[in-house]
Amino acid sequence: MTIDIAAAIPATPTKYKRPPSFYDSWQAGEGIPIHKVFHIEQMADVELGEWKRFGCRGAFVNLADAHITTAAVIEIAPGEATTPVKHMFEALIYVVRGSGRTTISSPGYSQTSVDWSERGLFSPPLNTTYSHRNLDPSRPARLLMVSNAPLVLSLFHNERMVFDSPIVFDDRYSGQQDFYSNPGRYVGGRVWRTNFVPDVREFALISWKMRGSGAKSFHLSMADNTMACHISEFEVGTYKKAHRHGPGAHVVVLQGEGYSLLWEEGKERIRIDWREGSMFSPPEWWYHQHFNVGPEPARYLALRRGGSPEHTMKLGISGGEEGSPDQIEYEDEDPAIREMYAAELSRRGVSLNMPDPGSGSNSNGSND
């Protein structure tokens, strides 16, 4: 059958209105608060609502580039458990507060569990069924879940495919009883393969001469995910070099206080002040630069979209490789940046602990 396309188009074409993404529609239908903000000052204070899917209170936090990754905060009442769920998107779970146990099951395999407490980090294997239980009888537990749900839900645009698929990824999980108790192993470079970190603030880091003075970092390859995460720390009186990269990195402050400058090339800088418990996400290909103004080392956890050190995939603009033009060296940055930082330290009685930008010294740095 031949279709006369020309005849089907009106003389004055109607305006086409692009529909919302499948993920946006799904998210709105979940019936919980959706916080569309630039950053979260305190994850412990995020307003929540009743989330039927998880059987507990929860909220979405849409920071930058929420079409790739997004965050959700859930709170479990004392002694209660969440409704078992499974899904075809990856999720990295950080314990904001409280203690509990997460139980994992998959058809044909033994059940396993992980006991967690504040600042713990783990990931349920893909498409396994899991449930969180709050083991504290007196106070709620609060978890942060950063996932690639926007990407997966919009890709398949079918809720049954994402939440009811029978596919078993036994290459990722096949009932190993030490899935979470095994501490993991070093695989080279600055990469540690593991499925559970009991306390990311205590995880040992190593120096890296790339992003600035007095910094350390380590990458984590978790649950055979394509999502990635890393821990970074930088010393008192130091700040990182400005850099930019692809979308979807959620930065969770674990220790210290400071601020970050974020800006699109050629545009005005935006300042975000942070402390332990804050979270923000640099928009895709925006420069961002982190400054420690406190009396102790500053440490953060970055939970990211694709970029796993073991499962390479490209989402958005790449970045972060040594020598690439996505980084501004100290000697090339606007002098006002260091002047502002020095003035901030002076007000707090903290000494600047960095070489002169013209000295050519790189000191120790971090990958992000």
| DSSP collapsed to 3 states, 248-275 | CCEEEEEECEEEEEEECCCCCCEEEEEE
Residue 176 lies inside a defined structural domain of this protein: no
What is the arithmetic mean of pLDDT over 193-200? 98
* Of residues 317 and 94, more confidently modeled: 94
Assess if residue 7 is contained within a domain.
no
**Eight-class DSSP state of 245:** -
Contacts of residue 293, Cβ cutoff 8 Å, sequence gap at least 6: 257, 258, 259, 341, 344, 345, 348, 350
Would you say 82 and 107 are in contact if contact means Cβ atoms under 8 Å apart? Answer: no
Q: Is residue 340 part of a domain?
A: yes
Q: Are residues 145 and 192 in the same domain?
A: no
> How confident is the model over 226-266, as pLDDT tens digits?
999 999 999 999 999 999 988 889 999 999 999 999 999 99
Q: Are residues 207 and 323 in the same domain?
A: yes
CA atoms within 13 A on the CB side of 43: 33
Looking at residue 255, its pLDDT comes to 98
**149 and 201 share a domain?**
no
141 and 77 within one domain? yes
Is residue 239 one of the residues assigned to a domain?
A: yes
Measured CA to CA, the distance from residue 259 to residue 263 in angstroms comes to: 13
> Which residues are bridge partners to 70 per DSSP?
147
Percent of the chain with pLDDT over 70: 93
| 316 confidence band (pLDDT: 50, 70, 90) | low
pLDDT, mean over the chain: 92
Shared domain check, 134 and 75: yes
Q: What is the CA radius of gyration of the chain?
A: 22
What's the first-to-final CA gap in the chain, in angstroms?
57
Mean pLDDT of 205-215: 84
Q: What is the mean pLDDT of residues 328-342?
A: 96
Confidence of residue 14 (pLDDT cuts 50, 70, 90): confident
Cβ–Cβ contacts within 10 Å for residue 11, how many? Answer: 4
pLDDT bracket for residue 4 (50, 70, 90): confident
Pair (203, 312) in one structural domain: yes
Residue 264 and residue 303 in one domain: yes
Tell me: do 341 and 205 sit in the same domain: yes
Least confidently predicted of 75-79, 84-88, 212-216: 212-216
Instruction: Give the CATH number for residue 56.
Output: 2.60.120.10
Domains: count for the chain: 2
CA quadruple 141, 147, 149, 150: dihedral positive or negative? positive
- The mean per-residue pLDDT over the stretch 22-29 comes to 98
What's the confidence (pLDDT) of residue 57? 98
Q: How far apart are CA 103 and CA 83, in angstroms?
A: 11
* pLDDT value, residue 6: 79
Check whether residue 60 and residue 30 sit in a common domain: yes
> For residue 7, what pLDDT is reported?
81
Taking only the tens place, the pLDDT of each residue in 142-166 is 999 999 999 999 999 999 999 999 9
Answer whether residue 113 shows pLDDT above 50.
yes
User: What does the chain come to in residues?
Assistant: 368
Q: What percent of the chain has pLDDT over 90?
A: 80
Tell me how far the alpha carbon of residue 9 is from its chain's centroid: 46
Write out pLDDT tens, residues 275-305: 999 999 999 999 999 999 999 999 999 999 8
CA pair distance 286, 263, nearest whole angstrom: 5
Q: Is the pLDDT of residue 354 over 90?
A: yes
Are 330 and 227 within one domain?
A: yes
Residue carrying structure tokens 């400058």: 261
On the question of pLDDT at 313 being above 80, the answer is no
Report the pLDDT value the prediction gives residue 359, as an integer from 0 to 100: 60
Q: Tell me, yes or no, whether 365 lies in a domain.
A: no
DSSP state of 16: P
- Is the pLDDT assigned to residue 319 strictly greater than 80? no
Do 226 and 267 share a domain, yes or no?
yes
In a domain, 357, yes or no: no
Q: 101, 129, 163: which is the final residue of a domain?
A: 163
Residues 189, 295 within the same domain: yes
Of 111-115, 249-253, 324-328, give the lowest mean pLDDT range: 324-328
Range of the domain at 152: 22-163
**Average pLDDT score over residue span 43-71:** 96
> Is residue 174 included in any domain, yes or no?
no
Residue 300: inside a domain: yes
Q: Give the per-residue pLDDT at 215.
A: 85
